[in-house]
Amino acid sequence: MAILTLREDPRLSLPRLNKRPSMRPIIGITTHAPNDQIVQDALYDRHYTSPALYVDAVRRAGGVPVLLPPDAADVTEWLDLAEGFVISGGTDIAPTLYDGDPDHPSLFPPSPKRDQAELDLTRALIEQRRKPALFVCRGMQMMNVALGGTLHEDIKGAIGQDIHRGTDGLWTQQEVQVDESSNLYRVMQAQTPAPYSGHHQGIKDVAEGLTVAATAADGIVEALEVTDHPYLIGVQWHPEMSAETEPSQQRLFDGLVAVASQSEVTS
């Protein structure tokens, strides 16, 4: 009896990735690694996790969210899979990546595999300049570190105050001042939004090739963007927290998906 193969029997053929039935763009969302210690001090043992709010915001924008586990051996596979990316928030970046103090008492435990994967992904996105990405909180910090910038290990220790977290160390709503000449302003259509923040670290030295697009009242950088690119934008706050009810924050995801829907992006 003849043995049918996938090639011989069209009923069993798998669809090609470049001929998806739906033309909605795939948006890759980076996740926590197993055992990452996040700000709530919970251990996620043997789970790759992402807040559902990222997924919800991408879906509302018309994208197809796909979670990206951060221990990938080669992020080239991610670049081949997705048309756009959300580099999400999470634990502190290892200070050794930006010549910081690895013994600083305020540091949360780093995630080495996630650091390496997101470092590789961020550099590839910026160097190739073909696909859009939204960098959120830790993601924006990685954007800066990947290009040679530095971070404050702890904002309060560096400048003597901290308006970026609530009194419980978690969320607060904090106004930011957006540069009207920035790509971020064009996307959000808001100059002084008050989104949710919950970070204790911040940008110290801005890397070459990045432009400051927003600041906080205390002078801390709140947004960065790659110069002359349609959508490589980083925000220090968490737009996913209020995107469902706040149009300016949902527009960050809408803009990402809109650019990802185009063919290849060039600078």
Nearest to 246 by CA among 64, 50, 57, 25: 57
Q: Is 137 annotated in the active site?
A: yes
Residue 171 phi/psi, 5-degree rounding, is -85, 145
Q: Alpha carbon 149 to chain centroid distance?
A: 17
Q: Is 208 annotated in the active site?
A: no
Which residue of the set 83, 118, 153, 240 is catalytic? Answer: 240
Alpha-carbon separation of residue 142 from 48, 66, 127, 161 (angstroms): 19, 20, 14, 23
Q: Is 200 annotated in the active site?
A: no
Which residue of the set 32, 137, 200, 222 is catalytic? Answer: 137
Residue 216 phi/psi, 5-degree rounding, is -100, 170
Contacts of residue 86, defined as CB under 8 A and 6 or more positions apart, other chains included, come to: 27, 28, 29, 30, 54, 58, 133, 134, 136, 139, 253, 256
**Lookup result for tokens 């435990």:** 109
Residues involved in catalysis: 137, 238, 240
